[in-house]
Structure 1
């Protein structure tokens, strides 16, 4: 069944991507996972835990599959491989892989983690 899905990348959280799944009449559900899993997953199976990325297969060479797991079940989504590759190229233009640490504001991160602990 087709669902509105959006992949998002934010330089402020350079290690992560967000997959937003929604229907017109409901709020979206967001899954945040490592960009490196998506990068690796277009070539070979990647990811452990809640999100796994499964590359193109000869049965469906135009799709990258995302397996989303919860304690109560799992969902398999298929995304157009060209769309995923375009998204990755755009994210890499913003923050090349291996340079993510240059884009992390550690002071802000520490402040947010310690907020209210005084």
Structure 2
């Protein structure tokens, strides 16, 4: 299967401190050629974009319960009817915590599982092309 991908652009709050937060546009992207992962990016400044790739399953788990033990941690916050999502990203280059709506992320994530159902990701991976690319670099 080959399709253009699924994209979601939402506004999230970048929490920079106890008294400092700013709204940022966040882009989530899913492509069946990398069926296990979602891409996540946001603009820190007009010239600097932060990009992360992490497991689609991690995002799915983080919608209902705290998930992640490494550089990406996802936690639902707030009451069910107004639930938000906290995404913490940490690397040697810095730390960021973003908060945004669960409902729109969940609706988008459901679409990714319609395109590539859970447990069927390996059917979308072209192992021969991956090995060719790996061995020619």
Above 0.5 in TM-score? yes
After superposition, what is the alpha-carbon deviation per residue over 1:29-75, rounded to whole angstroms, capped at 9, x for unaligned? 210000000011111111232211111334x9431110000125321
Q: Is the 8 A contact 1:4 1:23 kept in 2?
A: no
1:48 maps to what in 2? Answer: 69
Runs of 4+ in 1 over 4 A off after TM superposition: none
Task: Please state which structure has a larger fraction of its residues in strand.
Answer: 2
Cα distance between partner residues in 2 of 1:52 and 1:93? 25
After superposition, what is the alpha-carbon deviation per residue over 1:60-92, rounded to whole angstroms, capped at 9, x for unaligned? 943111000012532110121111101111101
What TM-score results when the alignment is normalised by the length of structure 2?
Answer: 0.77
Flag structure 1 segments of 5+ consecutive residues without an equivalent. none
Flag structure 2 segments of 5+ consecutive residues without an equivalent. 1-21
Q: Is the 8 A contact 1:42 1:56 kept in 2?
A: no
- After the TM superposition, which residues 1-118 of structure 1 pair with which residues of structure 2 at under 5 Å, given as runs? 1-22=22-43, 25-58=46-79, 61-116=82-137
How many residue pairs get aligned? The number is 116
